[in-house]
Amino acid sequence: MASASVTLSLCSSLATHSRICTKQHPSPTFSLSNNTYLNSLSFSSHKLSLSSSSSRAFPLLSKSSDSDAAVLESEPGPTEVEAEQIIQISPEQVPKREEVFAVVMIGSRQYIVFPGRFIYTQRLKGANVNDKIILNKVLLIGTRTTTYIGKPVVTNAAVHAVVEEQGLNPKVVVFKYKKKKNYRRNIGHRQPNTRIRITGITGYQDYPAVTLDS
Amino acid sequence: MNKDKIFKLAKGFRGRAKNCIRIARERVEKALQYSYRDRRNKKRDMRSLWIQRINAGTRQHGVSYGNFMHGLLKENIQLNRKVLSELSMHEPYSFKALVDISSNAFPGNKNVVFPPKKEGISIVV
């Protein structure tokens, strides 16, 4: 129970994105299939229900917490009461949104993106703040029921994003030293980056989907 | 670097390395060399960590890491190891689909690896 309460309170601190993760739990499909999946491993069911809930909540937490902490000011002292309120509100406010993610390639790096969140990429040259960009190289799209696996890309699929900020990574001290040669170099470096917010994932419906047979 | 910066960087060091400038400077310089080196080593460390995670994920479905990657290569699926490891942890159904595709593309990997038997655990717990 301790872990469950911790996840709840953490969820409540992330105001908007907690709705996504809290929404998952009441869905019957997830809980059923989770149970079957875990029973096949033949652990005890009680322990697994705990661990499964935390594992479902943790990816959303970890991805949102490192990315959203900068923008959303966490509420001081989130309690379980607030979390329960969010749970009650969430089905009404976000009734239709599908849980969908995509793996998109940006400059030879691959990112798992969710609509509504932001990611830091390497600097996109020539992009200005508030530019809308379309990322075409989508390698995989997952929805609640199906997965679209690109070979190597999901054709016609696109991830829409907005450039939010052209910034710099934290400073890195580049200290070079060679012994006995009186050689020292102390250089600071800040790698330029770009923060983009994912607005939507479209165009994947026509691609042949993969659904699990079992 | 001047003294103040050295002492600032030497915070939390052990013994005299945090108080005496001569020793602190030595240790800070060595630490910065380590951090330069380990920024490079981090890349291989992470890659090996991802491979271990993928291997753990695929073996639950009875496929070894090498055969799984070979099947993906045959199917021309170009997901990298970072993404695959995250999928194996957080998106078990998408990962299962990938394993199925991989094992269909390279049927030789079937019946090679058996998932670890964990029957004893349920009895103990």
Count of CB atoms situated within 10 Å of the CB of A115: 20
A210: chain B residues, CB-CB within 8 Å: 97, 100-101
Tokens of A124: 């996109």
Say yes or no for a CB contact (<8 Å) between B33 and A150: no
By Cβ distance, the residue of A103, A140, A212 closest to B96 is A212
Q: How far is A146 from chain B (nearest CA, A)?
A: 8
pLDDT of residue A20 exceeding 50, the answer is: no
CB proximity list for B31: less than 8 A, separation 6 or greater: B9
The pLDDT of residue A155: 87
Q: How far is A35 from chain B (nearest CA, A)?
A: 13
DSSP for B48-63 reads HHHHHHHHHHHHTTT-
User: Which carries the bigger pLDDT value, residue B99 or residue A17?
Assistant: B99
Say yes or no for a CB contact (<8 Å) between A147 and B89: no
Q: How far is A106 from chain B (nearest CA, A)?
A: 13
The pLDDT of residue B119: 61
The pLDDT of residue B108: 66
Distances from the Cα of B4 to the Cαs of A17, A38, B31, in angstroms? 42, 55, 16
By Cβ distance, the residue of B33, B83, B122 closest to A112 is B83
CB proximity list for A179: less than 8 A, separation 6 or greater: none
Of A57-61, A98-102, A179-183, B6-10, the one with minimum mean pLDDT is A57-61
A174: chain B residues, CB-CB within 8 Å: 36
Say yes or no for a CB contact (<8 Å) between B80 and A152: no
The pLDDT of residue A210: 75
The pLDDT of residue B124: 54
Stated as kind and residue range, the H or E segment containing B3 is helix B3-9
Percent of chain A with pLDDT over 70: 52
How far is the C-alpha of A12 from the C-alpha of A77, rounded, in Å? 10
> How high is the ipTM of this complex?
0.77
Residues in A whose CB is inside 8 Å of some CB of B read 33, 37, 41-44, 47, 55, 58-59, 101, 103, 110-112, 139-140, 142, 147, 149-152, 172-177, 184, 186, 210-213
Of A16-20, A128-132, B54-58, B100-104, the one with minimum mean pLDDT is A16-20
* A177 pLDDT tier (thresholds 50, 70, 90): very high
Q: How far is B30 from chain A (nearest CA, A)?
A: 9
The pLDDT of residue A145: 84
The pLDDT of residue A206: 82
User: Which carries the bigger pLDDT value, residue B44 or residue A51?
Assistant: B44
pLDDT of residue B7 exceeding 70, the answer is: yes
* B122 pLDDT tier (thresholds 50, 70, 90): low
The gap between the terminal CA atoms of chain A, to the nearest Å, is: 31
pLDDT of residue A38 exceeding 70, the answer is: no
pLDDT tens readout for residues A197-211: 999 998 888 888 776
* A89 pLDDT tier (thresholds 50, 70, 90): very low
Distances from the Cα of A67 to the Cαs of A56, A164, A166, B79, B90, in angstroms? 18, 13, 15, 22, 17
Per-residue pLDDT, averaged over A171-185, amounts to 94
pTM of the shown model: 0.65
How far is the C-alpha of A196 from the C-alpha of A6, rounded, in Å? 29
